[in-house]
Amino acid sequence: MRFVTKNIEELSSDTLICFIFEDDDEKSELFKYLDNLSNGQLSEQIFDYKSITGKFQETFKFSINKNIKVLIEGLGKKSEFTRQKYSQCVANAARIAKTMTKNKTIGIEIIEHCCQNANFNQEDIAQITVSGARIGLYQFDKYIKDKNKVETLELLNLNNNLEIEKGTEKGAFVSFAMKFAKDLVNESAQIATPLYIANLAEEIAKEHKLEAKIYNKHQIKELNMNAFLAVGQGSVNEPMFIHLTYKPNNTPRKKIALIGKGITFDAGGMNIKPATSMLTMKSDMTGAASVLGIIQAIAKLQPDVEVHVISALCENMTSGSAYKQGDILTAMNGKTIEVDNTDAEGRITLADALCYADKLNVDEVIDIATLTGAVIVALGNNITGIMGNNQNQINNFKEISEKYCENVWQMPIIDELKDNLKSEIADFKNTGGRNAGTSTAAWFLSNFTKSKAWMHLDIAGTAYLEKSNKETLSGPTGVMIRSLINYILS
Ligand code: BES
Ligand code: MN
Ligand code: ZN
């Protein structure tokens, strides 16, 4: 999909999106233009007939003539306006406009007068408009005949504002990363095996001139990642470990390692999951898909930041060769893990990935993982759990995530959690009871990193929706990709 900025006269879209507030009569330039085209019928509909009053996500369709249709969407009350609400409105409007356009081109305005309200600058509003629209237009159509694709999104840039150009470009790269990750999550686990994803990583590295280190089962063994290996040993699809690096031309301002959980299917292992819980477990590699999307955007945006992306890829299956309860595993750093439950496999694979990241000499380590069902109980499907060992890093990330329309909530990691994982025969067990499941998992992870700024994002509730929310339809969400890219750029 193309994203272009245009002036009003240059628009070629047959469907145009306009926004209005519930409690503000000031109308945008595009609105005035279209009202004029319709000889005042548009404002008559709104002011006289109250066909739309501007309530949050309220919509009204109007045909000006055979060639131009308008979709008006309400942004709600100006006083209650936020960036996130804006993004949700853009996504919703784009999704509806997609069903209206015949020439596969949608135009959307960037309203100046909402900027003051949501602490917007022109660049951010453009970025958020593009990412929001792309979220609304997303569909995984590889396996369906009815491909209703919008080819071009035209953003109105009335004064040829450079900030809007910059934001549009950023938004396009962020959107590409999200689409990439969502497509990979949607793909069958039959196809998206560890080897498939490793090959994909290699292609990405070639295309973007990134350093690539790809390890097969044999080489993973040589690295002493025996905890990770154990998780994958029950599957005919062998594990792979990937590490891509983006290096800026100049000396990097900071160095960040991103680790994505990469379980290409989580059947639970010998502690097999019930059918309903297993249903969406092809999405257990969302972390891996996300970091692979992110590094492509980073390679395009060329920040002066060194970025490593890492994933330990494997399947968690039941079979004669599967790892078992009671097994004692030794991670790369020599720490031992008693397997209490084979379904708590993510933390075992991440343990070795974190040890690997320790050797890279980076300033920050961030992992993103569909790690615990407990985070869904605690925070639901629209808030990502954030934990770590450096409050500054967490605070900075929280600020960025709010700016780029995503919700995070911090959960604690404290020493007391240690008791939950006490083992008599190893350094720790991998699970312990139902209580404080998300924090306990994070405490477990904290034992495998030496980084002074390590942060963990538990996206088990937010990565894959069973029910649509105000922004995204059911299925993969691409959660935290917007925040992570902007965090790296910050
Ligand atoms: N991949 C799951 C976590 C998950 C659950 C992701 C629901 C997305 C939606 C993880 O590997 C897992 O199975 N965790 C167990 C841990 C338990 C055995 C301590 C869980 O949360 O039930
Ligand atoms: Mn599991
Ligand atoms: Zn899992």
Residue in 441, 123, 431, 485 with CA at minimum distance from that of residue 291: 485
Ligand 3 mean position, distance from CA 305 (Å): 30
Beta-bridged to residue 464, according to DSSP, are 476
- Residue 458 φ/ψ region, left for φ over 0, alpha for ψ in the -120 to 50 degree band, beta for the rest: beta
The series of mean pLDDT values per 10 residues for the chain, 490 residues long, is 94 96 89 94 90 95 94 94 95 98 96 66 94 98 92 94 95 98 98 98 98 98 98 98 98 98 98 98 98 98 98 98 98 98 98 98 98 98 98 98 97 95 98 94 98 98 97 98 98
- Testing ligand 1's pocket by substitution, the residue of 290, 317, 371 carrying the most ligand atoms inside 8 A of its CB is 371
Ligand 3 mean position, distance from CA 314 (Å): 10
Terminal Cα-to-Cα distance of the chain (whole angstroms):
26
Bridge pairing between strands 428-429 and 464-465: unpaired
Ligand 1 mean position, distance from CA 404 (Å): 27
Ligand 2 mean position, distance from CA 340 (Å): 12
| Ligand 1 atom closest to the CA of 263, numbered from 1 | 1
Q: Please give the Cα distance from 12 to 152 (Å, whole number).
A: 10
Q: Which fold has domain 2-172?
A: Leucine Aminopeptidase, subunit E; domain 1 (3.40.220)
| Ligand 1 atom closest to the CA of 431, numbered from 1 | 19
Ligand whose nearest atom lies closest to the CA of 370: 1
> What residue owns the CA closest to ligand 1's atom 9?
460
Ligand whose nearest atom lies closest to the CA of 267: 2
| Ligand 1 atom closest to the CA of 283, numbered from 1 | 8
Beta-bridged to residue 433, according to DSSP, are none
> What residue owns the CA closest to ligand 1's atom 8?
460
Ligand whose nearest atom lies closest to the CA of 325: 1
CATH assignment, 192-489: 3.40.630.10
Ligand whose nearest atom lies closest to the CA of 269: 2
Ligand 3 mean position, distance from CA 368 (Å): 12
Q: Where are the domains of the chain?
A: 2-172, 192-489
The confidence score (pLDDT) of residue 27 equals 87
Residue in 62, 67, 72, 66 with CA at minimum distance from that of residue 30: 72
Listed residues: CB within 5 A of ion ligand 2: 266, 343, 345
Q: Please give the Cα distance from 244 to 202 (Å, whole number).
A: 8
Measured at the CA of 173, the angle between CA 459 and CA 121, to 5 degrees, comes to 90
Ligand 1 mean position, distance from CA 354 (Å): 19
| Catalytic center residues | 273, 347
Q: Please give the Cα distance from 427 to 335 (Å, whole number).
A: 6
Which residues lie with the beta carbon below 6 Å from any ligand 1 atom?
Answer: 266, 284, 341, 343-346, 370-374, 431, 437, 460
Q: What is the 3-state secondary structure (H, E, C) of the chain?
A: CEEEEECHHHCCCCEEEEEECCCCCCCCHHHHHHHHHCCCHHHHHHHHCCCCCCCCCCEEEEECCCCCEEEEEECCCHHHCCHHHHHHHHHHHHHHHHHHCCCCEEEECCCHHHCCCCCCCHHHHHHHHHHHHHHHHCCCCCCCCCCCCCCEEEEECCCCCHHHHHHHHHHHHHHHHHHHHHHHHHCCCCCCCHHHHHHHHHHHHHHHCCEEEEECHHHHHHCCCHHHHHHHCCCCCCCEEEEEEECCCCCCCEEEEEEECEEEEECCCCCCCCHHHHCCHHHHHHHHHHHHHHHHHHHHHCCCEEEEEEEEEEEECCCCCCCCCCCEEECCCCCEEECCCCCCCHHHHHHHHHHHHHCCCCCEEEEEECCCCHHHHHHCCCCEEEEECCHHHHHHHHHHHHHCCCCEEECCCCHHHHHHHCCCCCCEECCCCCCCHHHHHHHHHHCCCCCCCEEEEECCCCCEECCCCCCCCCEECCCCHHHHHHHHHC
The confidence score (pLDDT) of residue 115 equals 61
Ligand 1 mean position, distance from CA 389 (Å): 23
Model pTM above 0.85: yes
476 φ, ψ to 5°? -65, 145
| Ligand 1 atom closest to the CA of 430, numbered from 1 | 19
Measured at the CA of 458, the angle between CA 453 and CA 464, to 5 degrees, comes to 145
> What residue owns the CA closest to ligand 1's atom 6?
460
| Ligand 1 atom closest to the CA of 316, numbered from 1 | 11
The confidence score (pLDDT) of residue 116 equals 62
